[in-house]
Amino acid sequence: MVPFKPYFLGQETPPWPRATSVQKCIRTPDIEDVGKTTRHGTFFEMCGNFSFGDYFKERAIELAWDLVTKPVADGGWGLEESRLYPSVYSEDEEALELWVKVTGLPRERVLRLGRKENYWSMGVPGPGGPCSEILYDRGPAYGPDFDPSALGPDMPVELEDRLLEVWNLVFMQEDLSAVRSKSDFDIAGPLPHKNIDTGMGLERIALLLQGVENMYEIDTMRPVIDRAEALTGRRYGAGGDQGPADDVRFRVVSDHVRSSMMLIGDGVTPGNEGRGYVLRRLLRRAVRSMRLLGTEDVVLPELMPVSRDLMGQTYSELLTDWDRIARVAYAEEEAFRKTLQAGTAIFDQAAAQVKSGGGTQLAGSQAFALHDTYGFPIDLTLEMAAESGLSVDESGFRSLMGEQRERAKADARAKKGQHADTGIYRAVLDEHGPTDWVAYETLSTESRPLALFSAGAPVSRLGEGEVGELVLDRTPFYAESGGQEADAGTIELPTGRLEVLDVQRPVRGLVTHQVRVVDGELDLGATGPLHAQVDEEWRTGARQAHSGTHVVHAALREVLGPSALQSGSYNRPGYLRLDFGWNAALDPEQLSRIEEVSNRALRADLPVGWQYMTLPEAKEWGAIALFGETYDAGQVRVVEIGGPWSRELCGGTHVEHSSQIGTLVVTGESSVGSGSRRIEAYTGVEGFAYLARERDLVTQLTTLLKTRPDDLVGRVGDLVERVRVAEKEIESARTAQLLASAGTFAEQAEDLDGVAWVGRSVEGAGGGDVRTLALDVRGRVPADRPVVVALVGVKDDKPAVVVALNDAAQARGLAAGDLVRTACGVLGGKGGGKADVAQGGGPALSGTTQPDEALAAVRALVADSARAR
């Protein structure tokens, strides 16, 4: 219902008094319960009725009860009235009386539940209201007997599977404020109109009508379980010691395969944030569940087509876009198989260390390292830890993740001047109405100031050098959206001048300008008319870049095929980047072809135009709507370049002919996550400047190397090969010199009560060299004499520690693993290994931590052990 929020709040007039919807929904807060209950799924189809001030409680109850109980032959579902239990909010006497009136049920059949169960809110300030559920009693096999009149305000957990919620009627009538949780909030007052928002999960109705045990066995999901059985050799519902666990895994597979496919079909690609992470988590849980069921083969190419054939009967885009969907899913499985191989080894080592130390919890820092360095999602770490009998310090992990995210977002928050409370903007909107936004028509306006904010609060003036947010009645400035940066420019005052730093839309309909006072002061009360002026050069560059993005997108689809869909973009004057779903790096020929197709479109001087239409009309016309973007429910703007060659929904500013882009120079292509690539390019003057710099670089190199431009690559290649050979010879000489010192080290061994001790710091030696040298030194000491060799190599300021013992030293109770951990601990690092040889390292050396201190600590342990004999 979120898109309808402005209608419920009375901020916008709905285009219709009623609406009916079927929505594809993904919900993952309950992901750990998937497969364990009869009703929890990550993907479901939500069927809803909405009334915007038209009908209310009584009519909503009538419509719901009629559909639920009417015979199937008459278009209903034919559920037995004797099994149905309406529920109401405990304080909503009106709803209780209406249920009795409409259905004829006795009052004791209507359950009275508390705010947690039967009051609906979004969890944030906005519309809400009491709700009323229709519950279906599945019988004693699904829970204990109960007395409906004796139930308290909370639904008992043991009844949640027996009393299955099939429909929720939300009586949207109140405006909520100070929302502390979904069940703890203040009521600011009534909404302008009383509304209805109902929701019914199609899967829950299907399981009842099809007579199956749970949602995973309905006709659009059970065939995936059947295929998983064939691949693993395990049987669903077979019982036995592993039966319950196996059944949960089969259900997880069925649910997650379908959910992943639907997400990819809507344009989501796997990633580490937001919806991309949700998809990645679902895919990886499905793959790992199949591994736990006994197969280590690739499984998605076997399972996902089964789900495609089932869901494609309703959602035909799954069939027409299958090549892209399959490519994204299968590439993610392949990447996860590699992650599993590397990450599992690291996890096993960490778990073994915890257990050997008598611990029962994996540290948050270890879980974070698995996530950040090895790509191990936290939920997978949690599952594997539980299987190993360990817990995970989740709060420590979340804290480290939060710190990382905050560092990444700090700059963005500072620039946008974001405030959690949008009430200050809504107050301006309510008082003055929407901003007259004329960025498409002009670059300058005479405007009137309406409001001024600083640090999220209203102010009356800004002095020279101060920054604030200014709201005008009319503006020519483009507000950042659709990947395009906001316009730059100035606002001239009778008493000074403002520099426009940023332009945003904090709430729909209102444009705010982040400004700095360059000259004079801005006094809201004394300021007369203002002159707002967009920087013309800035706008020209921005138009070139945004139109260039559409050109590159069309060229990309022409070269790679229609499945190469844009997933994100960013434009600033003269520069563009475009992210798109693809599983492999583009080769130089593909990149060159994309650039050629783009520039041919520029040379063809293709007309650029735009027009408004409804979203269904735009899709019928072939316009591309990007997933994740929000489009107006009424009219959308379609921008086309060269007619059908490029048609996209877009609110950005554009050139009038493709030739006005000037030039388009592709500068690079890179990965931005599994299944997602990025192209970067320059346009206009910036494109010519980039080519000029490349030309100057070639000129300098040809002059320096005394060769012709055509011979430059060969000449540089020869030099690189000569340098490689020379470096290899130098490295061989250095290694030989290093190993030659082994005899000297052995001869100079110190005697520690019968143990030969060799402790040295070796400059310029990495881990491999130090290990080879330590073993060589150990081999030069007679086998019957106990010897401990501890070497710390330092290369690029980072230490590498190796400890080697012979059998005689081990017989004295010494162990290389214990000694290397001591040395690494002094250096602030970690290490481990076997009793005869162990290795480790530490962070870059500081002025306070040196190899000699680490060696001294190891020597002290060896000496103490020798004296103890």
Q: What residue type is assigned to position 134 of the chain?
A: I
pLDDT in the model for residue 374: 67
For the ranges 267-276, 410-419, 651-660, 706-715, the lowest mean pLDDT is seen at: 410-419
pLDDT in the model for residue 36: 86
How much of the chain exceeds pLDDT 70, in percent?
95
Judged against a pLDDT cut of 90, whether residue 556 lies above it is answered with yes
Identify the band that residue 412 occupies on the pLDDT scale cut at 50, 70 and 90. Answer: very low
pLDDT in the model for residue 358: 86
Q: What is the mean pLDDT of residues 560-573?
A: 88
Identify the band that residue 419 occupies on the pLDDT scale cut at 50, 70 and 90. Answer: very low
- The three-point CA angle 135-76-149 to 5° equals 20
Judged against a pLDDT cut of 90, whether residue 502 lies above it is answered with yes
pLDDT in the model for residue 741: 85
Reduce the secondary structure of 236-267 to three states and give it as a string: CCCCCCCHHHHHHHHHHHHHHHHHHHHHHHCC
For the ranges 89-103, 383-397, 842-856, the lowest mean pLDDT is seen at: 842-856
How many angstroms separate the CA atoms of 847 and 267, rounded?
A: 52
Higher pLDDT: 606 or 675? It is 606
Element (DSSP H or E) covering residue 838: strand 837-841
The answer to whether 131 is annotated as binding is no
Element (DSSP H or E) covering residue 224: helix 222-232
How many angstroms separate the CA atoms of 494 and 1, rounded?
A: 46
Report the chain's mean pLDDT, rounded to a whole number: 89
Which range, 6-15, 123-132, 147-156, 254-263, has the best average confidence (pLDDT)? 254-263
Indicate if the alpha-carbon torsion angle 489, 493, 497, 502 is positive or negative: negative
C-beta of residue 795 within 8 angstroms of C-beta of residue 844: no
Max Cα separation, the chain?
A: 102
Identify the band that residue 417 occupies on the pLDDT scale cut at 50, 70 and 90. Answer: very low
The answer to whether 654 is annotated as binding is yes
- Nearest residue to 632 via CA among 614, 648, 619: 614
Judged against a pLDDT cut of 70, whether residue 632 lies above it is answered with no
- Residue 836 phi, psi dihedral angles, 5° rounding: -95, -35
- The three-point CA angle 280-397-819 to 5° equals 115
Q: What is the mean pLDDT of residues 856-862?
A: 91
Length of the chain equals 869
- Nearest residue to 88 via CA among 142, 123, 47, 129: 129
In eight-state DSSP terms, residue 724 is: H
Judged against a pLDDT cut of 80, whether residue 327 lies above it is answered with yes
Q: What is the mean pLDDT of residues 191-216?
A: 92
**89-148: per-residue pLDDT in tens?**
999 999 999 999 999 999 999 999 999 889 998 877 889 999 999 999 999 999 999 998
Q: What is the mean pLDDT of residues 396-405?
A: 80
- Domains along the sequence of the chain with CATH: 2-212 (3.30.930.10), 219-344 (no CATH), 423-534 (2.40.30.130), 540-692 (3.30.980.10), 741-868 (3.10.310.40)
Q: What is the mean pLDDT of residues 376-388?
A: 80
The answer to whether 550 is annotated as binding is yes
pLDDT in the model for residue 161: 86
pLDDT in the model for residue 590: 95
Identify the band that residue 406 occupies on the pLDDT scale cut at 50, 70 and 90. Answer: low
In eight-state DSSP terms, residue 587 is: P
In eight-state DSSP terms, residue 680 is: E
**234-246: per-residue pLDDT in tens?**
999 987 666 788 9
Question: What is the residue whose two structure tokens read 């001030």?
Answer: 53
Identify the band that residue 384 occupies on the pLDDT scale cut at 50, 70 and 90. Answer: confident
pLDDT in the model for residue 153: 87
Tokens of 640: 């086309």
**Is this structure's pTM higher than 0.85?**
no
**278-297: per-residue pLDDT in tens?**
898 899 899 989 988 989 89
C-beta of residue 516 within 8 angstroms of C-beta of residue 498: yes
How many angstroms separate the CA atoms of 22 and 320, rounded?
A: 21
For the ranges 183-197, 398-412, 560-574, the lowest mean pLDDT is seen at: 398-412
C-beta of residue 376 within 8 angstroms of C-beta of residue 366: no
- Residue 439 phi, psi dihedral angles, 5° rounding: -65, -25
How many angstroms separate the CA atoms of 156 and 148, rounded?
A: 11
Q: What is the mean pLDDT of residues 301-314?
A: 96
pLDDT in the model for residue 420: 42
Judged against a pLDDT cut of 90, whether residue 611 lies above it is answered with yes
CA end-to-end span of the chain, whole Å? 78
pLDDT in the model for residue 195: 94
